[in-house]
Amino acid sequence: MSSERKLKSHDWFGKNDKMGFVHRSWLRNQGYPDDYFKGRPVIGICNTWSELTPCNGHLRDFAEVVKRGVIDAGGFPLEFPVTSLGETIMRPTTMLFRNLAAMDTEEIIRANPIDGVVLLTGCDKTTPSTLMGACSVDLPTIVVPGGPMLNGRFKGECLGSGSFNWMVKEKMLVENYTEADILEAEIGVARSAGHCMTMGTASTMACMVEALGLTLPGAAAIPAVDSRKKVMAQLSGRRIVEMVKEDMKLSKILTRQAFENSIVVNAGIGGSTNFILHLLAIAGRIGVDLKLEDFDDIGSKIPLLVNLKPSGKYLMEDFFYAGGLPVVIKELKKFLHNEAITVNGKTIGENNSLPVCYNQDVIATLDKPLQEHAGIAVLKGNLCEKGAVIKPSAATKQLMKHRGRAVVFETIEDYHVRIDNEELDIDENSVIVLKGVGPVGYPGMPEVGNVDLPEKLLRKGVRDMIRISDGRMSGTAAGTVVLHVAPESAIGGTLALVKDGDMIELDVEKRRLHLDVSEDELQKRRKEWVAPKLMATRGYVKIYIDHVQQANLGVDLDVLNSGSGSEVTRDLH
């Protein structure tokens, strides 16, 4: 130990009294030798492995590799499970449970004799949930992202997981795909362990933690099945032991500068809009003042460098072979706080000074970016007083300034019933408005903002329309989709007042989203508005509805903001 600083675990294992006996004795049934209890840093390996989270199905093996590293460095590894959230399986949406998983992670870390933490993550919410929880405890923490799947393959083409889902309706309708074709695609798009291999939310989250300085350099893009991923896991196990000795807590790394770096990098990679909600929630936990407007102010002038689906052409495996995130960080260095410290004790600038790009079609240069300005645009206007977002890199240029007639769906069920009705009064200039899919209203803010277009317009060749909702969009999806409208419709935001035929104006350049209805008429509608009946009267969902904050604040529960540290003063007897 660098100084005689007492480890947290000492309070459990270092005492020669009754409770020291109890804490050690029961753990000895696992066969640990005596020296494990004599001052070795205890490293909690927080595992989001679950058979119900296929993207994290390989993390049980990874935990063993991390343990090798911890033991190499003289630590005492103890693996523990936390709530795991499988994006493609859980209903109604994993976002409803992100805060529950974060609460689980926080309490387990705090309540146990853990000196440092390794977060094993993968599928979308498993990264922010565990990191949010860890931030509220603020111990030394390192993240090992599980890594993306290998590229999908079908009919000789590269297939992006997630992104293909959004094309199934179109492929069957327009390209005459058969059921057999779809079945083959279903298999070809998930051909190895790992998370979605598009620049969807999982890959975005892996890049987020690397840009925040919470992984060893280069960790994000390594495919799950590449042996280098295991090397990274073992080295992370070694490093966390050192971090405990150096008392390198999360709060020393997660400064305002680190968050700004992450916003810059997210713009450069064309990351998911879900990034905003998760980064806001993480900042809230660690006590960094981050606002929705910061994403626009800091990120929207950053050029798009990474040519990955859903906005681009390639997939994460290609990104890795091209050099991965270190190349992007090096290329963006003039926009970054290069002196921000990272988990290996070096600055982000030092870590990323040498990488070479091996394929400039996958990772472009600043001189020849894929787009001059990427990032996220934060919209304001009477339809979204507290903000809404759009991802310009995934939108259609011609629709970025548009005035159109609202076609309103009160709920997602209403949308499903009516959208393909041939009689529906809708054309390509209409604006699809979807209500009731916000944090409170659904509840849980599902990824339905990028609703499919009506079949009759798809047959006409229409491929994009403006869609507006208080919901989210999958990071694997694209389109001119306005998301995260706050306040949401279920709590009486102006979105709740929109009616069929109202005119809506979107002007992304001016950051404006306007409902062209007079203030008198809006007041009248507001008086007549009846709040929808909320979906829960008990249990976690009731707690969630009572405490969840709106999208502009990151959708965390208000009672979970900030942290309570790592200390537990009272013993169990």
Which residues are within 8 A (CB) of 109 and not within 5 positions of it... i.e. 6 or more apart? Answer: 44, 46, 117, 133, 134, 137, 139, 566
- Cβ closer to ligand FES: 204 or 338? 204
Region label for 492, one of left (φ > 0), alpha (ψ between -120 and 50) or beta (otherwise) = left
- Cβ closer to ligand FES: 162 or 404? 162
Other C-beta atoms within 10 Å of 356: how many?
9
Q: Helix, strand, or coil here: 26?
A: helix
181-220 positions binding ligand FES, by CB under 6 A? 195-196, 200, 202
In whole angstroms, give the CA distance from residue 234 to residue 230. Answer: 6
Sign of the alpha-carbon dihedral angle for 530, 535, 538, 541: negative
CB of 87 to ligand FES, least distance (A): 4
Backbone φ, ψ for residue 106 (5° rounding): -60, -50
141-170 positions binding ligand FES, by CB under 6 A? 162
Other C-beta atoms within 10 Å of 1: how many?
11
Sign of the alpha-carbon dihedral angle for 67, 69, 72, 75: negative
241 binds ligand FES (CB under 6 A): no
Which residues are within 8 A (CB) of 56 and not within 5 positions of it... i.e. 6 or more apart? Answer: 48, 49, 50, 84, 86, 120, 121, 122, 123, 126, 146, 195
- Cβ closer to ligand FES: 148 or 312? 148
- Cβ closer to ligand FES: 201 or 494? 201
CB of 351 to ligand FES, least distance (A): 26
In whole angstroms, give the CA distance from residue 41 to residue 74. Answer: 8
- Cβ closer to ligand FES: 52 or 183? 52
Antiparallel, parallel or unpaired: β 141-145 and 431-434: unpaired
CB of 45 to ligand FES, least distance (A): 20
CB of 328 to ligand FES, least distance (A): 20
Interface residue with ligand FES, options 71, 123, 250, 329 (CB under 6 A)? 123
The footprint of ligand FES on this chain (CB under 6 A) covers a number of residues equal to 10
- Cβ closer to ligand FES: 87 or 138? 87
CB of 395 to ligand FES, least distance (A): 22
In whole angstroms, give the CA distance from residue 528 to residue 500. Answer: 16
- Cβ closer to ligand FES: 279 or 332? 279
CB of 203 to ligand FES, least distance (A): 8
CB of 162 to ligand FES, least distance (A): 5
CB of 387 to ligand FES, least distance (A): 26
In whole angstroms, give the CA distance from residue 23 to residue 20. Answer: 5
Interface residue with ligand FES, options 55, 220, 495, 504 (CB under 6 A)? 55
- Cβ closer to ligand FES: 209 or 465? 209
- Cβ closer to ligand FES: 102 or 206? 206
Q: Which helix (H) or strand (E) holds 512?
A: strand 512-515
Interface residue with ligand FES, options 124, 226, 260, 317 (CB under 6 A)? 124
Mark residues 79-118: x for contact with ligand FES by CB under 6 A, - for none: --------xx------------------------------
Please give the full DSSP string across 547-559, using - where no structure is assigned. Answer: HBPPGGGTS-BGG
Which residues are within 8 A (CB) of 436 and not within 5 positions of it... i.e. 6 or more apart? Answer: 410, 411, 412, 442, 470, 489, 490, 532
CB of 48 to ligand FES, least distance (A): 11
Contacts to ligand FES by CB under 6 A: 55, 87-88, 123-124, 162, 195-196, 200, 202
